[in-house]
Amino acid sequence: MKIRSFVIPTTGASPASSAATAFAGLTLRHLLVAAAAALLALASAPASAAWGARGTAVTSRGAYNGAHYGSCGGGSCSHAGGVAGPYGGLATNTGTVTRTAPGQFSNSGTATGRYGNSVQHAGDTSCAGGTCAHTGSLTGPDGNTATTAGSAMRTAPGQYSSSGTVNGAYGNTVNHSASTSCAGNSCYRSGTATGTYGGTVSHSGTATSVAPGVVVTSGSATTVHGTTVTTGGSVTTVSATVGYVAPPPVVYVPPPATATVYVAPPPPPPPAVVYVAPAPKPAVYIPGHWVNNVWVPAHWA
């Protein structure tokens, strides 16, 4: 099962770049790919923004519906979302992403399953020269930990590639790779994930910008046992001007100003104080995965 959730720049973004950003959520179990692609896109997002996304995944067991919402401001982004299964089960995920320095980001959060089992996840991402590298960890309720590592890069205008590894607590390893090609208003992505014993999951799909701030997605994934999962969804973003307190959930609180005293006869007018909010941080998408026999649904961190 895979529910898509995306973040899209709402200022100064072309239709192709918006579609490319949304496409970051199309990777199955590609923790690193989603994180790096989201970071690259959020670097040009407005200083304060809110977004929401919804989607449906159709599997052999029924349809799973998900929704995800978030907001950014003051150098960090917060998000919360959930997925409801065909029999009423609900899984949730919350988290934050913070810009710690130019090109440096950290993230943390909690994913909770339908039976109350929770997984703590955290990671760090570094971007420079068109490439982002990511490392992270996930800790389950029994204390076992899985680690992730990988990178994503821009190989040519409109062309992107990624690869990485997920290592489980008992030595199980998943290697994943993918490529993305964008032209016009659309992007196409395909990739694979291969497990310790050679089992492979393949996926592909498209994302198309149909209006400013609106992207429509579709795709499919074929599991190790030949089962096919089809997905579809949409995302809408809303931006807010810095310094303007909009209705919930976007609230901007400026830091206290430093008092400036100038003694001179006669005193000139005080200099204008300009606040420049740091670039918002990216939401990190973590697709569904297994952690020590516990299924963790797809979520953002």
> CATH number of the domain that 285 lies in?
2.40.160.40
Domain presence at residue 168: yes
Q: Is the pTM of this model over 0.85?
A: no
Domain presence at residue 8: no
Domain presence at residue 125: yes
Domain presence at residue 28: yes
What DSSP designation does 33 have?
A: H
Q: CB-based contacts of 149: which residues, under 8 Å, 6+ apart? A: 32, 133, 134, 135, 136, 164, 165
Find out whether 55 and 217 touch, Cβ atoms under 8 Å. yes
Neighbours of 249 (CB within 10 A): 11
Q: CB-based contacts of 263: which residues, under 8 Å, 6+ apart? A: none
Residue ranges making up the domain that contains 155: 15-252+264-300
Number of domains, the chain? 1
Domain presence at residue 59: yes
Say whether the peptide bond before residue 249 is cis (omega within 30 degrees of 0): yes
Domain presence at residue 87: yes
Domain presence at residue 74: yes
Angle ∠(153,96,75) on CA atoms, nearest 5: 80
Q: How far apart are CA 111 and CA 204, in angstroms?
A: 26
Q: How far apart are CA 253 and CA 255, in angstroms?
A: 7
Q: How far apart are CA 122 and CA 116, in angstroms?
A: 19
Q: How does pLDDT run along the chain (301 residues), one tens digit per residue?
A: 443 433 333 333 443 343 334 333 333 333 333 333 343 344 444 445 777 888 888 888 888 888 888 899 988 999 999 999 888 889 999 999 999 999 999 999 999 998 889 999 999 999 999 999 999 999 999 999 999 999 999 999 999 999 999 999 888 999 999 999 999 999 999 999 998 888 889 999 988 888 887 888 888 887 767 777 777 777 666 554 443 334 444 445 555 555 555 555 665 666 665 555 555 555 566 666 666 666 666 656 5
Neighbours of 245 (CB within 10 A): 10
